């Protein structure tokens, strides 16, 4: 710690001044005469905060000096004129950017434009990431975070709600810039409960720099939650209703903030109360028999999400913040399962009835203390300390009756109860420092993290209505992982070229210990390994409209505690899950070349090679007590995975009132493995993914949005080859109550097409799996904004209307 402190002091003392950019231009009216004394403001694209401002001279000439590298929007405003805003501007150090003349329209000719609240574009391409603005989509109202991610270019969901980016499934999910410790299954459940009304934007970073954790071979998805930064007291409230195939669903949220020059207080709360329906079918052939399992699940859940914090502005350069957030979820579900069983080519000889019931409770909480220092010389220091707690428990009742399908006579019966409890504790401390050095920028930092997971599994045999603990099937698995990291990076602009190089070192120490009545050779596995993760990038700005980039990164995916637990847990009567204590981390090298044309058309080509690629495999095992074969799910390392992907995205306008965003992603994925005894994997898939959104501005403050996506056959779970998958949605919006309110009506999946299906042939097991949920819904949402800014905007609209009336 002392060495790191002295390192920061050395870096600070070595600070030097480097070149910054300058933006100049002229503002004219319709007669091409200079407009004096208008205000030009440069806003950051990420959060629309003010970066620079200037007042034009008597000839309408403005100059913005000392602009740091980044992406911005230029806005121009003046008395008697309608506001003007530019497209995204990419700025690099040392540039002199001469903007085309800005022509301002008189307010009398643009009154309607002034009274309409602007909405951010759905997708923004920034220098190091893609930003999906949730408010840029009307149909996001009433949606979950998982549904929002389906709109993102290059992002796919497999049937288990696992995220894939550019054909790779090693995605690391961050919440407000902090990695989540949840497993893939728990993360999927969390994203289904997180409402779109709580989300400001989603950032997709496919080639993270050395500043980010190396975990995640497909990159990082950072979900930025809403945080109001407006001065005064402001807020908004949302209520919503949705009707699916069977059941209604309700949602609501409220956000508040109060900001003065010294303090910003903010809070958000949301709730979802819903009844949901889904189905899953598994047809399998194994050991000369067939099993045609069909099940439906009815789930009732109540979710609460709360977030509160404060930012104390200590000075013009320093900010101290605290943030508390938490999620509560209670759910009950009933699954009705029917499985005819028989010899291949024959009629069923037995029918398995499995009507399961499950109750669960989940509670997540996190506390963050942060400090940020930024001065005018380019020095920046951020420090974050986090404490997190994630708890879940469930109680599942699993009755199994085998009946004669002709007479309904009970042939045999076995009933079980399973209770699970998971407790995760998270502690992190990180610091990042950057400053100008030798005409470029030097960055360095460290991160200390510790995660402890305590997972208990109690198995009960139910005999004559009494629960009897089965010690041979009961276990406790405690897993501790400490990752200590440090990094350094340097970037510099030289003319039209910009280079960046970084190196991150991560030291990992893990300890997994299984406690059970059944002794196992792999009951305790400890590991210690040190890895280096280089990253580099080279950018060439051919001209103001054409930019090329070449990037490289090396990343890691560590196994989760669930995939390491070697104990066997029961999913249903014929399916088990077993971890792999000897599962190795997977390492991925990725190279990507990209081009951005006129800040709109973005094209990228990437290639990745993953060593020791791991994925879930469904395999066969011994017969159960009745002589019926069973299968189990486990995670294994394959030899490798290679993915070649192409991504193209383009926002454009057919007319002033008709905007379109379109993206095309294509990738080729190859999985190869040989486990011996006829268990081989050799799958290749050429996958095409399309997404398009049409936004149409209609008269009388109406807006229409139509969107759709399509994914061709792909690979899932290592051995499954999926069929095509597609969906669509349509929504209309009406501004009401002096534009303070917004009413949105949405129909999701009107063609009821969001049904998945995949086929797997591995070893001696053939499986045909399919499923879906209440994807076709009618949703109604109403949002009302209130506070100081809304009153000010209403007064401006009223004044503008009165001025217009006086002129007429």
Task: Please write the tens of the pLDDT for every residue from 147-166.
Answer: 788 777 778 777 666 787 87
Residue 646, pLDDT > 90, answer yes
- Residue 136 binned pLDDT confidence (cut-offs 50, 70, 90): low
Instruction: Answer yes or no: are the C-beta atoms of 55 and 63 closer than 8 Å.
Output: no
Residue 243, pLDDT > 80, answer yes
In whole angstroms, give the CA distance from residue 624 to residue 62: 80
CA distances (Å), origin 613, targets 33, 619, 638, 717:
64, 17, 5, 11
- Residue 790 binned pLDDT confidence (cut-offs 50, 70, 90): low
Across the range 713-737, mean pLDDT stands at 88
- Residue 14 binned pLDDT confidence (cut-offs 50, 70, 90): very low
CA distances (Å), origin 601, targets 204, 696, 770:
17, 21, 37
Instruction: Answer yes or no: are the C-beta atoms of 227 and 266 closer than 8 Å.
Output: yes
Percent of the chain topping pLDDT 70: 87
Give the list of residues 6+ apart from residue 763 with CB closer than 8 angstroms, or none: 619, 620, 677, 678, 679
CA distances (Å), origin 190, targets 77, 162, 328, 343:
43, 12, 10, 41
- Where are the extended beta strands (E) located within 544-655? 546-557, 568-572, 575-578, 586-597, 601-611, 614-623, 629-637, 640-655
- Residue 789 binned pLDDT confidence (cut-offs 50, 70, 90): low
Which of helix, strand or coil describes residue 807? helix
- Residue 535 binned pLDDT confidence (cut-offs 50, 70, 90): very high
Residue 532, pLDDT > 60, answer yes
Q: Which of 170-179, 650-659, 676-685 has the lowest mean pLDDT?
A: 676-685
Confidence at residue 805, expressed as pLDDT on a 0 to 100 scale? 41
Dihedral angle sign, alpha carbons of residues 34, 40, 42, 47? negative
Q: How far apart are the first and last CA of the chain?
A: 71
Percent of the chain topping pLDDT 90: 45
pTM of the predicted model over 0.85: no
Which of helix, strand or coil describes residue 657? coil
Give the list of residues 6+ apart from residue 686 with CB closer than 8 angstroms, or none: 666, 667, 668, 712
Across the range 505-527, mean pLDDT stands at 87
In whole angstroms, give the CA distance from residue 783 to residue 771: 34
Instruction: Decide which of 780 and 217 is more confident.
Output: 780
Instruction: Decide which of 271 and 186 is more confident.
Output: 271
Residue 807, pLDDT > 50, answer no
Across the range 548-575, mean pLDDT stands at 82
Residue 53 zone, left/alpha/beta (φ > 0; ψ -120 to 50; rest): beta
CB atoms within 10 A of CB 462: 16
Q: Which of 8-17, 129-138, 386-395, 713-722 has the lowest mean pLDDT?
A: 8-17
- Residue 1 binned pLDDT confidence (cut-offs 50, 70, 90): very low
Confidence at residue 112, expressed as pLDDT on a 0 to 100 scale? 39
Confidence at residue 750, expressed as pLDDT on a 0 to 100 scale? 96
Confidence at residue 150, expressed as pLDDT on a 0 to 100 scale? 72
Residue 116, pLDDT > 50, answer no
Across the range 565-574, mean pLDDT stands at 72
Give the list of residues 6+ apart from residue 128 with CB closer than 8 angstroms, or none: 205, 207, 209
Instruction: Decide which of 647 and 35 is more confident.
Output: 647
Confidence at residue 10, expressed as pLDDT on a 0 to 100 scale? 34
Q: Which of 255-259, 352-356, 678-682 has the lowest mean pLDDT?
A: 678-682
Instruction: Answer yes or no: are the C-beta atoms of 764 and 286 closer than 8 Å.
Output: yes
Q: What are the two backbone dihedrals, phi and then psi, of residue 134, each rounded to the nearest 5 degrees? A: -65, -40
* Three-state SS annotation for 82-122: CCEECCCEEECCCCEEECCCEECCEHHHCHHHHHCCCCCCC
Residue 622, pLDDT > 70, answer no
Burial of 606 (0-12, 13-18, 19+ CB in 10 A): buried
CA distances (Å), origin 89, targets 104, 153, 203, 227, 366:
19, 21, 19, 25, 36
- Residue 615 binned pLDDT confidence (cut-offs 50, 70, 90): confident
Across the range 700-704, mean pLDDT stands at 91
Helices (H) and strands (E) in the chain, counts: 6, 48
The DSSP element (H or E) to which 14 belongs, if any, is: none
Confidence at residue 269, expressed as pLDDT on a 0 to 100 scale? 94
- Residue 49 binned pLDDT confidence (cut-offs 50, 70, 90): low
Confidence at residue 252, expressed as pLDDT on a 0 to 100 scale? 93
Q: What are the two backbone dihedrals, phi and then psi, of residue 109, each rounded to the nearest 5 degrees? A: -100, -5
Confidence at residue 800, expressed as pLDDT on a 0 to 100 scale? 45
Confidence at residue 788, expressed as pLDDT on a 0 to 100 scale? 64
- Tell me the pLDDT of the chain averaged across its residues: 84
Residue 795, pLDDT > 60, answer no
Full DSSP string of 506-566: EEEEEEEEEEESS--TTSEEEEEEEEEEEEEEEEEEEETTEEEEEEEEEEEEPPPHHHH--
Confidence at residue 45, expressed as pLDDT on a 0 to 100 scale? 76
In whole angstroms, give the CA distance from residue 172 to residue 250: 30
Confidence at residue 299, expressed as pLDDT on a 0 to 100 scale? 94
Give residue-wise pLDDT tens across range 727-747.
999 999 998 998 889 999 999
Strands 575-578 and 614-623, sheet pairing: unpaired
Residue 292, pLDDT > 80, answer yes
Count CA within 13 A, CB hemisphere, residue 240. Answer: 34
In whole angstroms, give the CA distance from residue 261 to residue 259: 7
Give residue-wise pLDDT tens across range 340-390.
999 999 999 999 999 999 999 999 999 999 999 988 788 999 999 999 999
């Amino acid at each position: 710690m002392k060495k790191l402190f002295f390192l920061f002091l050395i870096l600070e003392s070595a600070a030097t001044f480097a070149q910054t950019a300058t933006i100049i231009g002229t503002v004219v009216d319709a007669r091409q005469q200079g407009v004096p004394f208008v205000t030009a403001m440069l806003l950051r694209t990420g959060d629309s905060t003010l970066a620079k401002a200037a007042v034009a001279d008597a000839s309408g000439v403005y100059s913005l000096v000392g602009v740091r590298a980044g992406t911005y929007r230029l806005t121009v405003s003046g008395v008697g004129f309608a506001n003007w805003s530019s497209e995204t501007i990419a700025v690099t150090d040392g540039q002199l950017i001469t903007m085309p003349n800005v022509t301002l329209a008189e307010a009398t000719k643009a009154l309607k434009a002034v009274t309409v609240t602007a909405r951010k574009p759905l997708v923004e391409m920034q220098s190091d990431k893609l930003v999906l603005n949730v408010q840029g989509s009307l149909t996001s109202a009433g949606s979950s975070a998982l549904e929002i991610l389906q709109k993102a270019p290059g992002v796919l969901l497999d049937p288990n709600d696992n995220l894939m980016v550019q054909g790779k499934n090693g995605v690391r999910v961050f919440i407000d810039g902090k990695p989540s410790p949840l497993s893939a299954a728990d993360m999927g459940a969390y994203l289904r409960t997180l409402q779109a009304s709580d989300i400001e934007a989603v950032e997709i970073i496919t080639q993270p720099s050395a500043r980010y954790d190396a975990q995640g071979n497909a990159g990082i998805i950072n979900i930025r939650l809403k945080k109001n930064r407006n001065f005064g007291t402001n807020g908004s409230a949302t209520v919503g209703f949705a009707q699916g195939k069977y059941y209604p669903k309700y949602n609501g949220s409220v956000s508040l903030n109060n900001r003065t020059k010294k303090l910003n207080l903010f809070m958000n709360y949301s709730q979802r109360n819903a009844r949901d329906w889904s189905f899953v079918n598994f047809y399998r052939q194994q050991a000369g028999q067939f099993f045609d399992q069909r099940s439906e699940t009815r789930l009732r859940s109540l979710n609460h999400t709360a977030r509160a914090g404060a930012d104390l502005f200590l000075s013009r350069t320093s900010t101290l913040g605290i943030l508390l957030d938490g999620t509560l979820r209670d759910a009950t579900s009933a699954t009705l399962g029917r499985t005819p069983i028989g010899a291949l080519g024959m009629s069923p000889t037995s029918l398995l009835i499995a009507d399961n019931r499950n109750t669960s409770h989940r509670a997540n909480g996190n506390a963050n203390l942060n400090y940020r220092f930024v001065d005018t010389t380019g020095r920046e220091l951020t420090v974050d300390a986090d404490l997190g707690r994630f708890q879940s428990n469930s109680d599942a009742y699993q009755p199994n009756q085998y009946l004669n399908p002709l007479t309904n006579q009970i042939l045999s019966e076995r009933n079980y109860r399973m209770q699970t409890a998971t407790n995760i504790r998270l502690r992190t401390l990180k610091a990042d420092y950057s400053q100008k050095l030798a005409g470029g920028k030097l960055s360095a930092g460290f991160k200390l993290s510790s995660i402890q997971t305590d997972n208990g599994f109690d198995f009960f045999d139910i005999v004559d209505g009494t629960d009897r603990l089965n010690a041979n099937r009961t276990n406790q698995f405690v897993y501790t992982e400490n990752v200590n990291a440090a990094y350094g990076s340097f970037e510099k602009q030289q003319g039209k070229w910009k280079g960046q190089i970084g190196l991150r070192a991560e030291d990992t120490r893990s300890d997994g210990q299984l406690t059970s009545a059944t002794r196992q050779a792999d009951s305790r596995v400890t590991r210690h390994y040190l890895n280096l993760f280089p990253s580099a990038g080279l950018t060439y700005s051919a001209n103001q409209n054409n930019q090329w980039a070449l990037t490289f990164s090396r990343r890691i995916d560590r196994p989760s505690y669930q995939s390491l637990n070697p104990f066997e847990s029961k999913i249903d009567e014929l399916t088990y899950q077993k971890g792999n204590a000897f599962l190795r981390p997977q390492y991925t090298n990725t190279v990507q070349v990209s081009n951005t044309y006129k800040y709109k058309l973005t094209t990228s080509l990437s290639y990745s090679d993953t060593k020791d690629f791991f994925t879930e495999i469904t395999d066969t095992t011994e017969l159960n007590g009745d002589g019926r074969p069973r299968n189990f799910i486990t995670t294994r390392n394959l030899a490798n995975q290679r993915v070649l992907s192409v991504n193209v995205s383009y926002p454009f306008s057919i007319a002033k009132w008709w905007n379109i965003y379109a993206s095309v992603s294509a990738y080729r994925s190859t999985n190869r493995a040989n486990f011996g005894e006829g268990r081989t994997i050799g799958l290749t898939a050429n996958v095409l993914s399309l997404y398009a959104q049409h936004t149409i501005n209609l008269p009388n403050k109406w807006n229409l949005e139509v969107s759709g996506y399509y994914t061709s056959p792909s690979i899932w779970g290592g051995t499954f080859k999926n069929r095509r998958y597609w969906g669509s949605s349509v929504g209309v919006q009406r501004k009401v109550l002096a534009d303070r309110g917004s009413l949105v009506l949405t129909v999701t999946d009107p063609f009821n097409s969001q049904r998945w299906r995949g086929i797997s042939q591995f070893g001696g097991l053939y499986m045909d799996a399919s499923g879906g949920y209440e994807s076709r819904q009618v949703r109604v949402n109403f949002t009302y904004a209130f506070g100081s800014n809304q009153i000010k905007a209403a007064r401006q609209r009223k004044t503008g209307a009165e001025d217009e009336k006086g002129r007429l």
